[in-house]
Structure 1
């Protein structure tokens, strides 16, 4: 409370423009420093310790798939997380050993290893994975149990509390009375701290869900109090974050999938405590499941937009297992800003919305009108698939990292950098503010027009017209740059380079035909597709595609031309199946 009052006092400093990004950044930075001092103080540590929990109650089930083989590797002394590895031996302590990378350290302190370790199986009448997890938890408590700015940050706490809550009863079955008492106190202290963490206001709903699950696990009044506090925040936030069509307000399909997993876990935990799920939670689960079906493409994976990765089909199936006979998804998600075009062999997902802004834009991408194309079951055209798991590679959030149009060396928006990003997070700014769409479903195909103002600083708008010809199984496209305020065509001539980019999936390959224009694309099925066009120049260039935060080599097809901002220009292209 003291920290919040001081932070509010400083964030309203009168010499700064009210509501500006700079003033918000200064206020957030001061608040973080004040909170850090307060959270590490003895009075605060005492406050989150009381009242002490009396035991454990619910055993919530997390539907996410687990990997027992990874757990067995940890039992053997090898811990692999987020592309890094530590060889610890059977009794090594990873918390007193330097981590190979920050991403590894995050996964380690989030306890991302815990579900796999607990699932490693029983040996000789006891759960060896649970016993090893208890020792690791004791190692963490010894080094970081009191306070640490990194390990006790909301970034680490959110998933650690979730994993501890889901594993608590299994761990307790293998622990002594003293170990169980320490475990329950750890869970209570960290859940209470998570309620106070303010480092990621875009995660308020997800953190409230986690706190409520922890409350279901803790018995008696301490648990009931956390449940009541969490449900109050959920009631306030859930309809703001889960849109009418089930999309996540950040516009990330993966963020919606992960929230669905958490809400399913919450629903199970509340049921075990004899408390019905609020109607808003049940409604959100149905909507998120519907959106997950909408965003699942023909290759079985999610569309990768706005900080979301493709996600394996097994994970999607696990999220939908509770309702595997759900309704057929629609072709439009108007609240989320996406359109899906479906033909005989071709499937297209188009970004037809305004990027998220403010606190919800920490992973948003400046890639309006971007598309992903699946041919048969081959994802051929995609984006770079950047996600927050990739760390600081924020250049992949710019326009030229997706299958859309870019002008010059600029971008239709940019992430914050420097002090502002450090204080607020890498918000997306200067992105498209107006996106207009028109869709017409005809008997022989589907027309989709997307027009946005992401290039307004250059005096241009981008219009992307798509026609999916169902009869001939081909996709025709036209990318136009249109002057917002047409100038004098007879005036001084100024040309800007622009390009329509088609990023290839790492499993796809492309080659330019002898005419120097047409490009043949093949996926894993080896079925060929021609990309024909009227661009001035065509190039196949190197690119990258992110998978679990790790960059994979990929390519991109770049259709190049030039535009006079006073006049405009266009590139036309067509994707059609190769004969034979």
Structure 2
């Protein structure tokens, strides 16, 4: 007999065996973290980090990410702006001995996210950066759980490695020695971190790049350690179609930047790029093209925000003539439909599981739609950098179906989230997609079990009509277990909705019939969203851009469903005349 399932207002409570398994993993992780902290704070560990003295710098790796020299000049003028927060420190102030306005600001500060822009401001920027490094070293030079934790250390090592040569050019002999020692100690520590296994590949890349920058045997030791870790993780994280194992398009682009930097660093050291890394660069480049829509920006799914055209162009500048990607990414679980002036990307896979799901979203069958180069339909675009609650990872924060006040999955909370991270649990486990291309357009059927806790299966049928230049959709909820007598029993209704989250630059209005919705984007081209829903509403929403929420709207098509019988809503998106 199957274990009993208890439902709650937020969905359902999983079987006791599953809850116990997650709790045991959380307890084990918490114990490991405690042991790790004791070791990292010990004298023997500090001695090991000191290692062999580094006498010189070698490679100067180039990070292809765009930099903002103007932002660096603002730091020189005394204003430090990071992740939506701002701190006035003056021309010689110390931000590390001053309270940060937000935790997100503090994380970005200790990641040294300001360093590339400051170095780009020229010699004055490099000298100011050296003073800031000295300020950081004085307060945080010894291990502590925050500034030396994985959230901060990985990016700090990466930024320090890329900036080491221009910083050393403006440094005194003592400052240059401190810089080399800092980079070596932090890279050695980074190589030992086991927490947040989803970032193990990115940590390995940062360690290897640091090894390329440090000359002599200390650098060689880091290169060897980093490349061994890279070989263990890269084929698991980079899927055969180029998608990132977390299913986040943005995570794939950021990893591509890191691997391109690694490739440059290894070439400067006269070392071959591992075949697996070269293969991953090609695959990630292809996936980046797949996820880039006609407006030049990246689609936003599973903890990834919309990435703008400038950054995408920088990621692909190494290979301008790369192969044209297919319209299917079967390993990543996405499909693209293109026809006429419409373009759509659909999430056709289950969310990542376990430690890979710390930014996954419970939004199966979500879609993003571009209409005549205007991104009209999108999602809230939540990411781990966003200043918003994990509620934006739930089903009603994307352009898909939501049932009742629940969600097709939920993030962990409380002790288990603290120990393991905010894993997504109880999400869709079975998602299937069937696609058919013909001369007149593209059919796509997506079926998933994300609403199994209310006894329903969601089927989203899409047809992009290239001739009529319109998109037709049908969202059906059907009973998982058909019971001939159920329809005769007591009637129980649940509200359900089909949501279309609008881009902040799109606007919508309901026609006089109370059903049809006119949507316009920046190009002022109108699109009618017609439907057979019981009720239609335009409600407020949010859209995250660089971690900050922008006001947006959403079109909500409302109806009711009897779990024993099912229900459906049909809709059509077509270009308005004139």
1:18 Cα shift? 11
Q: Secondary structure at the match of 2:221?
A: helix
Query: Would you say the 8 A contact 2:509–2:518 is kept in 1?
Result: yes
2:568 aligned with 1:570? yes
1:392 Cα shift? 5.3
Deviations 1:473-518 (A, max 9, x none): 0000000001110122111111111000000000000000000000
- Could you tell me how far apart the structure 2 residues matched to 1:427 and 1:147 are? 27
- Could you tell me how far apart the structure 2 residues matched to 1:246 and 1:35 are? 34
Alignment of 1:543-558 (within 5 A): 543-558=541-556
Tell me the residue number matched to 1:112: 113
Query: Would you say the 8 A contact 1:17–1:23 is kept in 2?
Result: no
Return the structure number with greater relative CO, CA threshold 8 A, min gap 6: 2
1:199 Cα shift? 2.2
Tell me the residue number matched to 1:419: 415
2:77 aligned with 1:81? no
Q: Secondary structure at the match of 1:48?
A: helix
- Could you tell me how far apart the structure 2 residues matched to 1:276 and 1:372 are? 40
More off after superposition, 389-398 vs 340-349: 389-398
Tell me the residue number matched to 1:358: 354
- Could you tell me how far apart the structure 2 residues matched to 1:39 and 1:54 are? 25
Q: Which runs of 5+ in 2 are unaligned?
A: 1-16
2:46 aligned with 1:45? yes
Q: Secondary structure at the match of 1:388?
A: coil
1:55 Cα shift? 1.5
Deviations 1:119-162 (A, max 9, x none): 002xxxxx111100000000000000012211010110000000
Deviations 1:177-201 (A, max 9, x none): 1111110000000001111122211
TM-score (norm 1): 0.96
Tell me the residue number matched to 2:73: 72
- Could you tell me how far apart the structure 2 residues matched to 1:26 and 1:54 are? 44
- Could you tell me how far apart the structure 1 residues matched to 2:113 and 2:541 are? 30
Q: Residue 157 of structure 2 is aligned with which of 156, 161, 166?
A: 161
- Could you tell me how far apart the structure 1 residues matched to 2:546 and 2:35 are? 34
Tell me the residue number matched to 1:539: 537
1:344 Cα shift? 1.2
Query: Would you say the 8 A contact 2:387–2:548 is kept in 1?
Result: no
Query: Would you say the 8 A contact 2:387–2:549 is kept in 1?
Result: no
Q: Give the RMSD, CA atoms, in angstroms.
A: 1.1
- Could you tell me how far apart the structure 1 residues matched to 2:19 and 2:90 are? 55
Tell me the residue number matched to 2:451: 455
Q: Secondary structure at the match of 2:573?
A: strand
Alignment of 1:324-473 (within 5 A): 324-391=320-387, 393-473=389-469
Tell me the residue number matched to 1:500: 498
TM-score (norm 2): 0.96
1:184/1:85 Cα in 2 relative to 1: closer, same or farther (>3 Å)? Answer: same
Alignment of 1:114-513 (within 5 A): 114-121=115-122, 127-391=123-387, 393-487=389-483, 488-513=486-511
- Could you tell me how far apart the structure 1 residues matched to 2:273 and 2:504 are? 42
Deviations 1:452-487 (A, max 9, x none): 000011111000000000000000000000111012
Tell me the residue number matched to 2:522: 524
- Could you tell me how far apart the structure 2 residues matched to 1:568 and 1:438 are? 22
Q: Secondary structure at the match of 1:571?
A: strand
- Could you tell me how far apart the structure 1 residues matched to 2:20 and 2:135 are? 44
- Could you tell me how far apart the structure 1 residues matched to 2:269 and 2:378 are? 44
Tell me the residue number matched to 1:30: 31
Deviations 1:282-332 (A, max 9, x none): 000000000000000011100000000111110000010000111111100
Moved over 6 A (4+): 16-19
1:392/1:45 Cα in 2 relative to 1: closer, same or farther (>3 Å)? Answer: farther
1:296/1:95 Cα in 2 relative to 1: closer, same or farther (>3 Å)? Answer: same
1:553/1:18 Cα in 2 relative to 1: closer, same or farther (>3 Å)? Answer: closer
Deviations 1:505-541 (A, max 9, x none): 0000000000000000000000000000000000000
How many residues align? The count is 560
Query: Would you say the 8 A contact 1:58–1:217 is kept in 2?
Result: yes
- Could you tell me how far apart the structure 1 residues matched to 2:18 and 2:550 are? 43
- Could you tell me how far apart the structure 2 residues matched to 1:430 and 1:40 are? 37
